[in-house]
Copies of this chain bind each other. A is one copy, B any other.
Amino acid sequence: MIRAGIIGSTGYAGGELVRILLGHKDVEIKWYGSRSYIDKKYASVYQNMFQLVDDVCKDDNMEQLAKEVDVIFTATPQGLCASLVNDEILSKVKVIDLSADFRIKDVKTYEEWYKIEHKSPQYIDEAVYGLCEINREKVKQARIVANPGCYPTCSTLSIYPLLKEDLIDGNTIIIDAKSGTSGAGRGAKVDNLYCEVNENIKAYGVAGHRHTPEIEEQLSYAAGYPITLNFTPHLVPMNRGILVTAYASLKKDVTYEEVKAVYDKYYANEQFVRVLDKDVCPQTKWVEGSNYVDVNFKIDPRTKRIIMMGAMDNLVKGAAGQAVQNMNLMFGLPENEGLCMPPMFP
């Protein structure tokens, strides 16, 4: 039995981690960390867990945690994980960081976009970017995994094969993304009130969202050359789900079948990436509550561009589900253990 501790268990991603791990036959949650709710019953914060979780919330004590568990998940704002990890901790437990602290290899880029000093840059090199479909073998060996951001997961998986096979010009990529509101977290802000979000859609972080350098880095690896792109997230009145609509110029004339073959080359054997049938557009509702990413594409011969689309649940494949997928790999379990719940519709 793997003993797990969660720092930040009362955020939406933390809550989702609890939901998934409760259904994971090889894991026992030993520590429900939550700075905001110390000593409160976890099930009084998330009533869905009434009678399912009896624990009370504890402080963010990573030293102590390292003695009591085998794996620590940090579902916390940027900065926290980097400020807590050290050699002793990493010698005892595996760490899966759901924040951005170890995602970006260039510490300057991180500090520029996140406007904070990185407290433990010495672990950045070692940390593995936990996009399992791409870095599977490295994840298996990792002590510390940087769990990818929600937008970067969906964006990268939607675009990756075409860059890898050099079908598109990386510097023409434009990513227009749409996210449900759970991505904004559980903080009490006027902007996230029901009446402000409902019946509304807006772009935010235009030309400046922090996931931009993360996406650029991953896509640059795929392309083999540095990519600068546009990424625009939008807030959509729904709880869960991310939809990515990405545009790029094709480097040559291609047929539907050729592009389909490229997607299949990378994803035919991937359980959690589903390349949809021709002309079926991904919808976030079709993956809700599951670890799937649905992708598809459409060639536009008029503009010689291709439109790439991806849909996933931001809290599952975009956060907690992918974290568990990484954990499975790190502990030598079947990669899909605890992650086979079908999407819930409607």
Interface residues of A (CB under 8 A from B): 12, 15, 19, 22-23, 44, 46-52, 171, 174, 176, 178, 180-182, 186, 188-190, 192-204, 206-207, 228-230, 232, 234, 236-241, 243, 245, 247, 274, 276-277, 280-290, 294, 298-300, 302-303, 305, 307, 309, 311, 340-346
Contact = CB atoms under 8 A, between A and B. Distances in A.
B49 A342 contact: yes
A202 B330 CA distance: 34
B47 A200 contact: no
Contact of A48 (B49, B171, B344): B344
A342 B195 contact: no
Q: Which of A12, A245, A290 has the most CB of B within 10 A?
A: A245
A194 B178 contact: no
Contacts of A247: 174, 176, 230, 247
A245 B305 contact: no
A238 B237 contact: yes
B283 A182 contact: no
A300 B230 contact: yes
Number of copies of this kind of chain in the complex:
4
A325 to B, nearest CB: 17
Contacts of A298: 206-207
A342 B19 contact: yes
A174 B193 CA distance: 31
Given A178-B234, A206-B309, 20 more contacts: A22-B342, A47-B280, A49-B343, A51-B274, A171-B303, A176-B247, A181-B194, A182-B195, A188-B189, A196-B285, A198-B198, A199-B285, A201-B238, A202-B243, A203-B281, A203-B282, A204-B281, A232-B307, A234-B245, A247-B247
Contact of A199 (B178, B202, B238, B311): B238
Contacts of A182: 195, 346
B280 A239 contact: no
A181 B198 CA distance: 10
Given A47-B286, A190-B188, A193-B186, A305 B230 contact: yes
B202 A283 contact: yes
Contact of A228 (B290, B303, B307, B311): B303
Contacts of A282: 202-203
* List of 3 A-B pairs having minimum Cβ-Cβ separation, nearest first: A200-B285, A48-B343, A195-B346
24 contacts: A47-B283, A48-B288, A48-B344, A48-B345, A49-B342, A49-B343, A171-B303, A176-B245, A178-B234, A180-B199, A188-B190, A192-B195, A193-B193, A194-B194, A199-B285, A199-B288, A202-B282, A202-B283, A202-B311, A203-B307, A206-B281, A206-B309, A232-B245, A240-B346
